[in-house]
Structure 1
Amino acid sequence: MSGTIFLDEDNATIYRYAPGTFAHPLRMVVLNRTAYLADEGLLKAVDLENPGRWHIVRPPGNAVEGVPIKELGDLALSGESVLLLDRSGDLYRYFPEDGRWSLERSATMPGAQPRQYLASVASYEDDFYLLDINLGQIWRHRGEKGEVVAEELGLEEAIDLAVDEALYVLAQEGSQARLVKLSGPPYKVAQGFDPPGLVAPTFLFVKGDYLYLIDDYRRLLLLDKESGEMMRDYYLRGGAEICALYAEGDRLYLASRDAIYAYPGLTPSTWERAPTEPVAPFLPHDPQILEALPSFIFPIEGTRLPDRAYLLPGAPRLYRYGVHEGTDFYLGREGAVTEKTPLLAMADGVVIRADWEYEEPTAEEMEEMLAETQETGYTPLEILERLRGRQVWIDLGGGIVVRYCHLSRIAEGLEVGQEVKQGSIIGYAGNSGTPQAQAGPEVGVHLHLEVRLGDGYLGQYLRPSEVKERLPQIFE
């Protein structure tokens, strides 16, 4: 087994779907001839026996045992069920045979840390494993017991996790990715692999004797899991994006944009859906969305994007049982930002909101709001609005709005309807709306910035590593 294979109509069955059906799936499994994909924060089921048929799978009321699903970020096959990891840290189980759902792990379970960031789920036999990329831990759940089984330097900001008798982690060290094998328990790094020519790996999977690794969205590497030797690589002819894959027996399933490739082919010919209207006109996780954005400058002079995924869009916010929808900036040219740090318009636009009348919640109100989020299992919109603090919104046109949140004050004279130029001061950093504000206006000062795309936000429905890769592309 060696060489390079290009998948096309001659050697693969290609299932094609209407634009926007699944623009950028994060993970895929195949069970009983149905492909289950995590895409757009949802579970989508694609019937491979009846091409063209697909549907969104939701529990009644979109809640499991009283806990609402917020935004699904990963999934794994576990026997005859599908495990589903929510961005908030909750983990659900879905049984396709009879449609049952169960809550396998609550984000607020005993032992869970407030700043955890569970980014990947993997399953082996009766156990499942969770990768925490903020605290640098791997959890194992066996029966009703959950415990940390690995806590290694290098697990922070890791990209992905795969599991069989060992644990395999696609780790990140600065700008370099590395593939490591952990043996145990207790699990420790036992071996490191150096796959050739890695550019930007995003995905890891193990099945049988092989590791499967997606690199730069275009290349699938097949590696011997014992030696790390590359056995073969795959491409989709024409350069189509490879988002996710699943291996079942001798067959590979590759998920691309609105298409699934089965290799070797299941039939002598491909099946194609007739062109139809797009399923959704504005998808925040569509790779092409970056082309629609104007060229931005940073909102704080001398700042840079945070290194930690926990401060970026898509991260959990356990204190309010929700998902972070923006980027937190704590640093400027002179170090930590303060209440005097000016905030800059990132692009030309029109002010559509300026909270001159914002009133800070009292300690009692803050306690009541946060208690409600824990009781309901999510952040109600009216509470989220209060927690964003004093805000300024700038409409850039084309459905793109930039929100500046937690401001200490708004720039003098700024009014709704006013046109602003890139680089003009629109306000000053602060902590309004945050729990830290209860200790004083100088505690935890930062800018929370959201780039809204229609009803979504930039960075939504992406892997943490993809958010870190895409955000720098929007700035000059």
Structure 2
Amino acid sequence: MADDNTDVLDQYLEGTVNENIAQEIKDVIIASLPDGALNYRITEFTTAPSSSILQLALDRNLIEAIVLPIIKKYTYPGAVPILPLFSVSTTPPILNDLKRLKLLIPCENVSVPKQQLLLPNAPRAYRHGTHRGIDFYVNWGTPVRAVADGVITRAEHDYKEMSADFRLDVLGDAKILGRTPSDVFEHLLLGQAVYIDHGFDLVPGYRVVTIYAHMS
């Protein structure tokens, strides 16, 4: 793939996605395009007595078949459920119904961040996936509380940070697969974490589990 031609993608992103995550989405698109997708192709070749004319163009159909679904996914995340709640139903809950939920903020006096990169569904190109939670930046040792009543079903007391080389190997596997394997995500990338089962009361008909990850 010709790296110099990646600026062609900017015309699809400009004014369509939030500029704070535009580069991340662009990285996802580049990783998803087949080799040579951004190379110019010969569309016409004509000759004259004193000159030759060569016309080049990109394969827009090929590019847009990859680009547009990715942009739609990150621009309208509500239309594409990412890791929906465990459900006894066959469909995810209606988003408007979730607005009635009253949950505690995990860290007192810390508001929900506004940066899109810290919110759900933000692209995570380095592991070929999407962000599945909300990142709260607080000081080391800050107390973390459950967002609602529930039962702790798992606590990673003995988690040990993986080596840099092993991490690169894991992320390399994710690149080959084109996604983040669930076992890698849950057992390695979440770090020291606690899982709480809130049962079926928070969202009737759906089992809700919250995960508190990357804790000190």
TM-score, structure 2 normalization: 0.59
Q: Give me the whole-angstrom Cα distance separating, in 1, the residues matched to 2:196 and 2:126.
A: 28
Verify: 1:143 aligned to 2:143, yes or no. Answer: no
Q: 2:170 aligns with which of 362, 369, 375?
A: 369
1:407 aligns with 2:209: no
Residues 290-439 of structure 1 mapped to structure 2, 5 A cutoff: 290-291=99-100, 293=101, 295-330=102-137, 337-385=138-186, 386-398=188-200, 399-408=207-216
1:289 corresponds to 2:98 = yes
- Residue 136 of structure 1 deviates from its aligned partner by 7.2
Distance in 1 of aligned mates of 2:5 and 2:113: 24
Q: CA RMSD in A?
A: 3.6
1:62-461 pair list within 5 angstroms: 110=3, 129-130=12-13, 131-135=16-20, 143-144=58-59, 280-291=89-100, 293=101, 295-330=102-137, 337-385=138-186, 386-398=188-200, 399-408=207-216
Aligned partners of 1:348, 1:111: CA distance in 2, in Å? 53
Residue 367 of structure 1 deviates from its aligned partner by 1.0
User: Residue 76 of structure 1 aligns with which residue?
Assistant: none
Shift of 1:403: 0.6
Q: Give the superposition deviation at 1:285.
A: 4.7
**Retained in 1: the 8 A contact 2:21–2:116?**
no
Question: CA deviation digits over 1:102-156, x for unaligned, max 9?
Answer: xxxx9xx94799xxxxxxx9xxxxxx723341447698x872588xxxxxxxxxx
8 A Cα contact 1:134 1:309, kept in partner: no
Taking the aligned partners of 2:20 and 2:125, their CA distance within structure 1 comes to 14
SS at match of 2:152: strand
- Stretches (4+) displaced over 3 A: 109-113, 134-139, 279-282
- Which residue identity does 1:328 align to in structure 2? D
Residues 61-119 of structure 1: per-residue CA shift (max 9 Å, x gap): xxxxxxxxxxxxxxxxxxxxxxxxxxxxxxxxxxxxxxxxxxxxx9xx94799xxxxxx
Q: Tell me, what secondary structure is at the counterpart of 1:353?
A: strand
**Quick one: structure 1 residues 112 and 400, their matched pair in 2 at CA, closer, same or farther if it must change by over 3 Å?**
farther
Say if 1:390 and 1:407, in contact at 8 Å, map to a contact too.
yes
Instruction: Describe the superposition over 1:200-253 as per-residue Cα deviations: whole angstroms up to 9, x where unpaired.
Output: xx9xxxxxxxxxxxxxxxxxxxxxxxxxxxxxxxxxxxxxxxx99xxxxxxxxx
Supply the distance in 2 between the matched residues of 1:137 and 1:338 (Cα, whole angstroms). 29
TM normalised by structure 1 equals 0.28
Unaligned regions of 5+ residues in structure 2, if any? 27-37, 39-56, 64-73, 80-87, 201-206
CA contact (8 A) 2:152 2:197 kept: yes
Distance 1:315 1:325 in 2: 8
Distance in structure 2 (CA, Å) of the matches to 1:311 and 1:378: 19
- Indicate conservation of the 8 Å contact 1:391/1:404, yes or no: yes
Amino acid at match of 1:129: Y
C-alpha spacing 1:397/1:376, structure 2 compared with 1 (3 Å): same
CA distance in 1 between counterparts of 2:93 and 2:160 reads 32
SS in 2 for 1:369: helix
Question: How many residues align structurally?
Answer: 152
- Amino acid paired to 1:303: V
Counterpart position of 1:196:
none
Higher helix proportion (structure 1 or 2): 2
Is contact 1:134-1:308 (8 Å) kept?
no
Amino acid of the structure 2 residue aligned with 1:305: V
The one of the two structures with greater contact order (alpha-carbon pairs below 8 A, sep at least 6) is 2
Q: Secondary structure at the match of 2:109?
A: coil
Whether contact under 8 Å (1:283, 1:289) holds in the other structure is: no
Shift of 1:372: 1.0
Identity score, percent: 34
More strand by share: 1
Is the alpha carbon distance of 1:403 and 1:136 closer, same or farther for their aligned partners in structure 2, counting shifts above 3 Å? closer
